[in-house]
Structure 1
Amino acid sequence: MTFTLLGADGLPYVSETPGTLGGHRRQRIYGRLDCPAALRAIARGRYTRHRVFFADERTAIAAGYRPCAACLPAAYHHWKITTR
């Protein structure tokens, strides 16, 4: 089985290993695969069209995504105070 992940350059690539983080392409946000906010959006029929996956947090950040405030509050807080 193969998986499509986003690389640090923001381009998709095929991987034999599934991603550890999910994200939303339009919002440029990443978070845990079990994020309650993302799961609610998916249940309402939204989000999946723009869903992306990352191998790890370093790759998500390099691709220009920010942490999710709902499932990664500490990382989000750090991002918020360092990007102002």
Structure 2
Amino acid sequence: MNTVSKQWRLIGADGGSYDSDRPGQLGGHRRSRIYGRLDCRAALQAIAKGGYVKNRVFFLNRADAQAAGYRPCAVCLPQDYACWKAQKNLAASSQ
């Protein structure tokens, strides 16, 4: 029997892509540098309108997405987004 394992193209913590035998848990948009859940209402609406898919990327986990320079989606990850925004404001006020 010939077994073919499925491969997914993911973005790692260094921002580079790699093939994985595990699917990504999160989706992102390369141009806006935002990541979120795969069932995100905002992302699904953008996909339905077209054009979004060519910049779609996937991450194994939140740590990889954040390390690659992506921020959480305000729609599907509102608590993570609020923490990110607070950290960004704190950093800006300390400059």
What TM-score do the two structures reach when normalised by structure 1? 0.98
Shift of 1:35: 0.2
2:87 maps to what in 1?
82
Stretches of structure 1 that go unaligned for 5 or more consecutive residues are: none
Matches of 1:44 and 1:61, distance apart in 2: 26
Query: What amino acid sits opposite 2:9 in the alignment?
Result: T
Instruction: Please give the secondary structure, in 2, of the residue aligned with 1:83.
Output: helix
Q: CA deviation at 1:46?
A: 2.5
TM (norm. structure 2) is 0.87
Q: State the alpha-carbon separation in 2 of the partners of residues 34 and 46 from structure 1.
A: 18
Matched positions, count: 84
Aligned equivalent of 1:28, options 25, 33, 41: 33
Q: Max radius of gyration: which structure?
A: 2
5 Å-filtered alignment, 1:8-23, equals 8-23=13-28
Q: Distance between the aligned counterparts of 1:47 and 1:31, measured in 2?
A: 14
Within 1, Cα distance between the matches of 2:53 and 2:68?
Answer: 19
Please give the root-mean-square deviation of Cα atoms over the aligned residues, in Å. 0.5
The reply on whether 1:65 has 2:74 as its aligned counterpart is: no
Q: Specify every segment of 5 or more residues in structure 2 that has no aligned partner in the other structure, as ranges.
A: 1-5, 90-95
Q: Which residue of 2 aligns with 1:54?
A: 59
Give the Å deviation of 1:71: 0.3
